[in-house]
Amino acid sequence: MAEVIPLIIAGAVGAFVKDILEDGKISLPKRVNGDLILGFIGSIIVGGFIGLLVDKDPIIAGLAGYVGKSAIEKLISRESYR
């Protein structure tokens, strides 16, 4: 369990850094038309999960968290799950 925590943190930090660099700001969670938009929290969750799955090295996990959200968005088109 102790070796899993750094991977999750590295992936989450990678996703957080990507959000800051991409938007130039931190997007807080908000409600829009009754839907919950997670903002940077969604990216942190996805980045942490991908960082855990990819490798046992925290550097690779951080890089995976950085590109993870973009890769998922490219693989799944937005119209397919609406």
Backbone φ and ψ of 34, nearest 5°: 85, -5
Note the pLDDT of residue 80.
57
- Domain with 13, as residue range(s), is 4-77
Backbone φ and ψ of 27, nearest 5°: -90, 115
Residue 30 lies in a domain: yes
- CA pair distance 43, 58, nearest whole angstrom: 17
Residue 82 lies in a domain: no
Asked whether 50 and 64 are in contact (CB, 8 A), the reply is yes
Tens-place pLDDT, residues 35-66: 998 888 988 999 999 999 988 899 999 999 99
Residue 26 lies in a domain: yes
Residue 37 lies in a domain: yes
**Prediction pTM value:** 0.81
Total structural domains within the chain: 1
- pLDDT value at 72 more than 90: no
Residue 43 lies in a domain: yes
Residue 61 lies in a domain: yes
